[in-house]
Structure 1
Amino acid sequence: MLDHPTLDHLKALRLDGMAEAFAELQAQDAAADFSHAEWLGLLVDREVASRETKRFEARMRSARLRHVGACPEDVDYRARRGLDKALFQNLLTGRWITDKRNLIITGPCGVGKTWLGCALAQTACRDGVTVAYKRMPRLFEELELAHDDGRFPRLFRSITKAQLLILDDWGPDRLTATQRRDLMELVEERYGRGSTMITSQLPIKAWHDVIGEPTFADAILDRIVHNAYRIELEGASMRKTIAKMDDEMPQT
């Protein structure tokens, strides 16, 4: 089938969603019975969906999540790890990000803290929220290098401008003086302007000692903890549980 001139125009205008829908409708005999309004409505709907998908994919690429495939539909509420289903589903509405509140997820290694955080982040990307994911050890390394080569202001802006900032793997190493100052600047800049999610193997009561200097610790924790939702997980490592289930499955 030769391309219809309209199809060429749609492609030239980069209306890819409309072009795909136009080609599909051309190939359907039933489409001949559609009114002009129905044709136009189908084309516009496809273009809107196509553009939203592209924006979502761009937000996901920019976020650089550790678990790209983590999604809310796959959350396991049956696992014995103390996950409050009602609270988590409330977080999935994104209201906490709109209200610029924080989220703290704590628990032992392997219980799914980072995965759950990434599932919430994917939901946020679907809702049009800009997300930045950083592992805290790596973030401090980046900031230290940026101080030395003059990139700190630009890097700092790129981190703090995200509507949702994920700081993964807090602790257990005690912060240096430079790290304390950098963290203080981050939380101060974001306070009341954006949401921050922190995951950690350490309970919140241990964070004061990790920060080290009491004045900094009080100031940092006041800006992080007081308006934060908390998910406190427990139990055995999910990775070990899944591996055990795989081992117990009959071999074919």
Structure 2
Amino acid sequence: MLKHPTLDKLHALKLTGMAAALADQSATPDITDLSFEERLGLLVDREMTERDNRRMTSRLRRARLRHTAILEDIDYRHSRGLDKGLVQSLAGCQWVKEHLNVLITGPTGVGKTWLACALAHKACREGYTAQYVRLTRLMRELTIAKGDGQYSKLLTNLAKVDVLILDDWGLMKLSAENRRDLLEVLEDRHGRRSTIATSQLPIEEWHGVIGDATLADAILDRLVHNAYKINLRGESMRKQQAKLTTTETSE
């Protein structure tokens, strides 16, 4: 068999997984013990695995998650009000399939953004797309998009994301324009995609922060009523890490 021309052709066809598997088989003396179908199956499996890995890497890159966080790394020893059973249920990503939301509240530093990124990371591993954005930045981007004629395109792109993280909900005072833009984003996603919102404010205070009562009702109706709610509590994890670092340094 002319292996080099075959490898070149596989690379030309962008079948890099099959090419790598064929090279491995060529270096395995007892590979001839397998039938043609078995060897071909190994080549196809390798190609599928590499393609899946490339797609996942691409999804994670486009998601621009703030933290490289995975649910398996959660430390439940810290008392933060985190329900292990709920987290394990969310890890199955059925909530994404059913287009439900997740709302994560709690004081600063308790791991809200980290948990949101971990949930989005798991969704990416399961084949869904995700995107992280701070709400303040999203509002600016939407305003700019109106000026350069990209508003509809931006809304369309946001509507396509399977899991959209809106971080730091409630930190900025929303203008009338912001409220309308936020309603547009959530209306496009309601019942079609999933949204994760994180906030230092209790959900009960979100209505007042939005400002306009009518628009607040419409916005929260599309976000809160079909959502899992996680309220974290406890001391800031950043403060705990700082204490640990100080202790280690003093020793």
Same fold (TM over 0.5): yes
1:65-214 counterparts in 2 under 5 A?
65-67=65-67, 69-214=68-213
187-196 vs 30-39, which moves further:
30-39
Amino acid at match of 1:15: L
Q: Structure 2 length as normaliser, TM-score?
A: 0.95
Secondary structure at the counterpart of residue 229 of structure 2: strand
SS at 2:168 equivalent: strand
Further displaced range: 159-168 or 24-33: 24-33
Alpha-carbon distance in 1 for matches of 2:213, 2:8 = 66
Q: Which moved more, 1:147-156 or 1:31-40?
A: 31-40
Report the more deviating stretch, 240-249 or 58-67.
240-249
Query: Is the contact between residue 162 and residue 193 of structure 2 (CA under 8 Å) also seen in structure 1?
Result: yes
TM-score, L = length of structure 1: 0.95
Pair 40,234 (structure 1): closer, same or farther in 2 beyond 3 Å: same
Identity value in percent: 54
| Cα-to-partner distance string for 1:86-140 (whole Å, 9 max, x where unaligned) | 0011001000011111110001111111111111111101111111221101001
Give the aligned residue type for 1:218. D
RMSD: 1.6
SS at match of 2:174: coil
Cα shift at 1:177? 0.5
What displacement does 1:250 show?
Answer: 7.0
Q: Could you tell me which amino acid in structure 2 is paired with residue 127 of structure 1?
A: E
Residue equivalent to 1:19: 19
Residues 1:29 and 1:248: Cα distance change in structure 2 (over 3 Å): farther
1:224 match: secondary structure? coil
- Give me the whole-angstrom Cα distance separating, in 1, the residues matched to 2:13 and 2:166: 41
Structure 1 residues 242 and 30: alpha-carbon distance in aligned structure 2, compared to 1, 3 A threshold: farther
Q: Answer yes or no: is the 8 Å Cα contact 2:130–2:163 preserved in 1.
A: yes
Shift, 1:3, TM fit:
5.2
- Cα deviation for residue 249 of structure 1 reads 3.1
Range with greater deviation from structure 2 (2-11 or 71-80): 2-11
Q: Are the equivalent residues in 1 in contact too, given 2:136–2:172 (CA < 8 A)?
A: no
> Whole-Å Cα distance in 2 between the matches of residues 65 and 250 of structure 1?
31
| Cα distance in 1 between the residues matched to 2:242 and 2:40 | 52
Deviation, structure 1 residue 172: 2.5
In the TM superposition, what is the alpha-carbon distance from 1:26 to its structure 2 partner? 1.2
CA distance in 2, matches of 1:44, 1:138: 43
The secondary structure found in structure 2 opposite 1:170 is coil
Q: State the partner residue of 1:55.
A: 55
8 A contact 1:174–1:209 mirrored in 2? no
Show CA shifts across 1:154-184 (max 9, x none): 1111111111111111112221100000011
What is the distance in 2 between the residues matched to 1:31 and 1:248? 56
Q: CA deviation at 1:251?
A: 7.9
Q: 1:102 to 1:25 in 2, by over 3 A?
A: same
On the 8 A contact 2:100/2:195 being kept in 1, the answer is yes
**CA–CA separation in structure 2 for the residues paired with 1:47 and 1:251:** 52
Separation in 2, partners of 1:186, 1:130: 17
Residue aligned with 2:222, SS: helix
Amino acid of the structure 2 residue aligned with 1:29: P
Give the paired residue count.
Answer: 250
What is the CA–CA distance in structure 1 between the aligned matches of 2:172 and 2:5, rounded to whole Å?
64
> 5+ unaligned residues in a row in structure 1: which ranges?
none
